[in-house]
Amino acid sequence: MTKYEELQTAIHEYGSAAFENLLRCKGLAQAIVNNFHDYVGCTRDCVNAVPSQGAFDPKKDYGDDAFSFSKREVIVLEPVHFGLSMIVKNAEDSGSLWLRTVLSIEVVGDNFDVFVASQPRIRVPVPFDGELKPVFDAIYREFIKTFEKEVMEFNDARFNNGIGFVS
């Protein structure tokens, strides 16, 4: 085999791995989006896959455009990113709040490495049926952490009087 043919083989193997990674990650992403509503106890229409950056409509079906690979001309072997959006209806009126967090998924051996925002890695086996609770826990923590932090800062008595530095 010539060096040129070796390069062709290497490129073919890379392309196959990149395509397999994309398909498996997309399958896991769809399972997360399709089942997160059961975990939190809302209706399915409250959860959607959306782009991970920029403006988004939580009710729009973005299809593949919700995923980082959608605008690429070439499939590369890298983590797949997407946004998970949730509509939280207001308890007091007809309003609602739109939440979004970013997930990153990559196949590593016989597992997926899943990252929810900046939280630690979650290992999910490639046959992921019944194995999504740790991912759901991390998504929920990410959503609720935002509000708990804001309320905690609001209620922090150290900021009641004057200005200065807090250790």
Q: 2, 102, 108, 106: which is closest to 53 by C-alpha?
A: 102
Per residue in 46-76, pLDDT tens? 999 999 999 999 999 999 999 999 988 888 9
For the four alpha carbons of 117, 140, 151 and 90, in that order, the dihedral sign comes to positive
Q: Among 96, 11, 4, 83, which residue's Cα sits nearest to residue 48? A: 83
Q: What is the pLDDT of residue 138?
A: 98
Q: What local confidence, expressed as pLDDT, does residue 84 receive?
A: 98
What does pTM read for this prediction?
Answer: 0.85
* Average confidence (pLDDT) over 29-37: 97
Query: Where do we find the tokens 């008595």?
Result: 157
Which residues partner with 100 through β-bridges?
Answer: 85
pLDDT of residue 124 exceeding 80: yes
Q: Domain map of the chain by residue range?
A: 3-154
pLDDT per residue over 98-122, tens digit each? 999 999 999 999 999 999 999 999 9
Alpha carbon separation from 145 to 10, 76, 105, 121 (Å, rounded): 44, 33, 22, 17
